[in-house]
Structure 1
Amino acid sequence: MHRNLQGVPETLLIPLWARAAETREKKPIIRDEKAVEMVGKIDYDFSKFKGSWLTQTGVAVRTEILDREVRKFIQKHPEAVIVNIGCGLDTRYLRVDNGRIRWYDLDLPEPMGIRKNFFQESGRYRMIGKSVFDYSWVRDVQAEGAPILLLAEGVFMYFTEQEMKELMEHLTKLFPGSHLLFEMLPRFLVKFGGKHETVRKTEARFQWGIRSGKDMEVLNPQIRFLEEWNFFDLHRKRWKWMGWLALIPAFKNNFNDRIVHLVFL
């Protein structure tokens, strides 16, 4: 299977590789056998990511945090509707499905075309091949009053601040009362996007970051910050020398991503 992937769409292969590589570890943080299967079937030179331990650890930790928090939401709301923004080749639905939720994977037509080689739609699982900024996708989501959780993993850092303002303005109006879990890049790291060990091997660049999830309340008054989790707080030994530097608050807060939990008023 071969596709011409450049720029941001190519970055969907980085977390896929990382989850597959982590699954092969002796003591993996997460297991994703579907990712292993997909890497084996996609015609792409994944070897260029080999040895990128920092990315592998980061993706494994963010996967663990998001899986945990999504499961918590589903436990509280067993018939929730979940929209996975910029899903790429994510496999989370397979890991957290309780047999009752409705799940929507949303991404651009090109990555969605690849995704359809590996996943099949059902009554509770749908794939939407549209840009998140093409708000017609909202009509494809059948919520019918159910609690809604929006996910955005490895996505928002590629948008500009103006795009983020526009997106939040629309989402807060379209989904009042909904929750959002997203991966936050510290503002300090945006300028180093070209030096990221795996992203620099693609044509994509980071464009947006914030100091804390609390900053989202400034971005839009309809947002309330609930909680955030720094990647450095989990599996310290896997971070090697960076785990020790993370004991310094300034380093911890400026040099790793966080998962942020928000609610829309």
Structure 2
Amino acid sequence: MQHQPNLQGVPETLLIPLWARAVEAKRGKPILKDAKAIEIMERIEYDFTKFDKAWKSQTGVVIRTEILNKAAATFIARHPDAVVVNIGCGLDTRFAQVDNGKIRWYDLDLPESIRIRRQFFCETERYKMIAKSVFDYSWIQEIAAEAQPVLIIAEGTLMYFTEQEIKSLINKLTDVFPKAEMLLEIITPGIVKMSKQHDTVGKMDNVRFQWGVTSGKELEQYNNRIKVINEWNLFDYHQDRWGWMAWMAKIPAVKRRFSDSVVHLVFG
């Protein structure tokens, strides 16, 4: 049965990482294996051919997914009874990738995104879906985290909102989840300015990047209780897949201006 997503604006972007992971899963030596992504993509009625030449985004998505999966798994190994909040989950399969049989996991996204997600995933006692905007803070009341360690993940999401919205969100999270850790993706202002030329986002209507920072350290200025404990630049991984971009990234000024990274924060 085919599903018509009928997505517009930012929600449509959930199809980009789905496509990227499905394409990767079909490779001979994939960076990550995600058979579920193939299954979902084949059941969604959408013109994915518009991304046929978007190898840069495809490479970046699978590398950031690998980094986030490993970082989440490391956190869960340290905290087997953790609570994880996955902001802007889209159609990702991360819970299945890192589940240890004990954690509680919440996938949070806009109602239209969760509507589609429910066609492919089922809730359980430990896995829940929340159909709300991350800026509708009533979602926080649905998170059951009494004394458990909390990990918050935001992949491919925050760059679509304004700096003020991101500051407000991060300050809210630090207040509500003291001592929590957060994994989030950041892009540089140079990439933000090139939204219209982007190989995937540029092919969508009413979608553009709005927020970028040169380094994860800038996030420490948002709240004095935030500390950056790690940052992974996507160009540092699987350089054989980056083609000519791997050479460009060896130029420090270029790497600083046009980078995509995963940042690991801890809230004090």
Query: TM-score normalised to the size of structure 2?
Result: 0.97
Deviation at 1:124, TM superposition (A): 0.4
Q: 1:168 aligns with which of 161, 167, 170?
A: 170
Q: Tell whether 2:254 aligns with 1:254.
A: no
Give the Cα separation in 2 of the matches to 1:108 and 1:231. Answer: 27
Q: Which residue of 2 aligns with 1:242?
A: 245
The structure 1 segments of at least 4 consecutive aligned residues displaced by more than 4 Å after TM superposition are none
SS at match of 2:262: strand
Residue-pair matches, total: 265
Query: TM-score normalised to the size of structure 1?
Result: 0.98
- Give a deviation string over 1:26-72, Cα, whole Å, max 9, x none: 11111110000000101111111112111110001001100110000
Give the Cα separation in 2 of the matches to 1:80 and 1:254. Answer: 36
- Give a deviation string over 1:61-96, Cα, whole Å, max 9, x none: 001100110000000001100000011111111111
- Give a deviation string over 1:129-175, Cα, whole Å, max 9, x none: 00101111011111121000000000110010110111112111000
SS at match of 1:225: strand
Q: Which residue of 2 aligns with 1:158?
A: 160
Q: 2:229 aligns with which of 209, 220, 226?
A: 226
- Give a deviation string over 1:183-239, Cα, whole Å, max 9, x none: 001122111111110001112100000010000011222211111000000010100
Question: Residues 190-229 of structure 1 correspond to what in structure 2 (within 5 A)?
Answer: 190-203=192-205, 204-229=207-232
Superposition RMSD in Å = 0.8
SS at match of 2:105: strand
SS at match of 1:200: helix
Kindly, what percent of the aligned residue pairs are identical? 57
Amino acid at match of 1:232: F
Q: Do the aligned residues in 1 keep the contact of 2:18 with 2:91 (CA within 8 Å)?
A: yes
Q: Which residue of 1 aligns with 2:111?
A: 109
User: Structure 2: any 5+ residue segments left out of the alignment?
Assistant: none
Amino acid at match of 1:227: N
Q: 2:40 aligns with which of 38, 41, 46?
A: 38
User: Structure 1: any 5+ residue segments left out of the alignment?
Assistant: none
Q: Do the aligned residues in 1 keep the contact of 2:201 with 2:208 (CA within 8 Å)?
A: yes
Q: 1:5 aligns with which of 4, 7, 10?
A: 7
Q: 2:77 aligns with which of 63, 75, 79?
A: 75
Give the Cα separation in 1 of the matches to 2:44 and 2:211. Answer: 30
Q: Which residue of 1 aligns with 2:143?
A: 141
Amino acid at match of 1:194: K
Q: Tell whether 2:126 aligns with 1:124.
A: yes
Give the Cα separation in 1 of the matches to 2:46 and 2:260. Answer: 27
Give the Cα separation in 2 of the matches to 1:62 and 1:264. Answer: 22
